[in-house]
Amino acid sequence: MSTPDVVVLDHGSGNVRSAVRALEHVGARVELTADRSRVLAADGLLVPGVGNFHACIAAMESVDAAAIIDTRLAGGRPVLGICVGMQVLFDGSDEPSAATHDGLAQWPGRVERLDAPVVPHMGWSTVRPPEGSVLFDGLAEERFYFVHSYAVRRWDMPLADGAMARVAPLVTWARHGEDFIAAVENGPLTATQFHPEKSGDAGLHLLQNWVTSL
């Protein structure tokens, strides 16, 4: 099997070197860039994100990330969002900011503050993947590393009726005070609220599953 090319989108939001190293560790050929031609040509695109939702969206706008992601998905080209890189795929966020921005609206829903005794949620938590998950294959009962105060707390994506109905996305849940979405697998678009690159062997296994699927 040939070595897959993966681009980590360099939009200037957060330290992404750990993601680059983790992907290299599981056998991908990795480039950190925002060059449009390289991003579109890669077998896989990883979209990182840390910190404030609105600041992350602003940084992504500077490299035309929304159009790049749309173009990849229109061609069935895989995209993986991580942490705030997952949150920005939804409609928007209630996180405070001096300048607010809409999300990329790939999925319906808003990012809301967790209703929990202790926020942020910082540490290791188990997740509940659905049957048939490719991302979590071989990872039953494993824990992953989370650092966040906001999350998507409900899934509301109606499917069309009839023979041409879309396949329902696979949604993985976790709990911190309340249930929230920990990951989504939706055709070529996949995302995790946790940081697989900081989740030890379990996180590397998950990234290996994604890279293998490319």
Q: pLDDT truncated to tens, each residue of the chain (214 aa)?
A: 689 999 999 998 767 899 999 999 999 999 999 999 999 999 999 999 989 999 999 999 999 999 999 999 999 999 999 999 999 999 999 999 999 999 999 999 999 999 999 999 999 999 999 999 999 999 988 999 999 999 999 998 876 555 444 678 999 999 999 999 999 999 999 999 999 999 999 999 999 999 999 9
So what's the pLDDT on residue 168? 86
So what's the pLDDT on residue 157? 82
So what's the pLDDT on residue 115? 97
Q: Phi and psi for 24 in degrees, rounded to 5?
A: -65, -40
So what's the pLDDT on residue 164? 45
Q: What is the pTM of this model?
A: 0.94
So what's the pLDDT on residue 167? 75
Exactly one of 11, 54, 56, 83 is catalytic; which is it? 83
176 belongs to the catalytic site:
no
So what's the pLDDT on residue 156? 87
197 belongs to the catalytic site:
yes
So what's the pLDDT on residue 163? 41
Exactly one of 11, 148, 176, 195 is catalytic; which is it? 195
Q: Distance (Å, rounded) from C-alpha 90 to C-alpha 5? A: 26
What is the full DSSP assignment across the chain? -PPPEEEEE--S-S--HHHHHHHHHTT-EEEEE--HHHHHHSSEEEE---S-HHHHHHHHHTTTHHHHHHHHHHTT--EEEETHHHHTTSSEE----SS------SS--EEEE--SSSSSEEEEEE-BPPTT-STTTT-TT-EEEEEESEEE-----PPPPSTTPPPPPEEEEEEESEEEEEEEEETTEEEESS-GGGSHHHHHHHHHHHHHH-
Annotation: CATH topology of 5-213:
Rossmann fold (3.40.50)
Domain ranges within the chain, ordered by starting residue = 5-213
Exactly one of 95, 142, 185, 197 is catalytic; which is it? 197
So what's the pLDDT on residue 166? 64
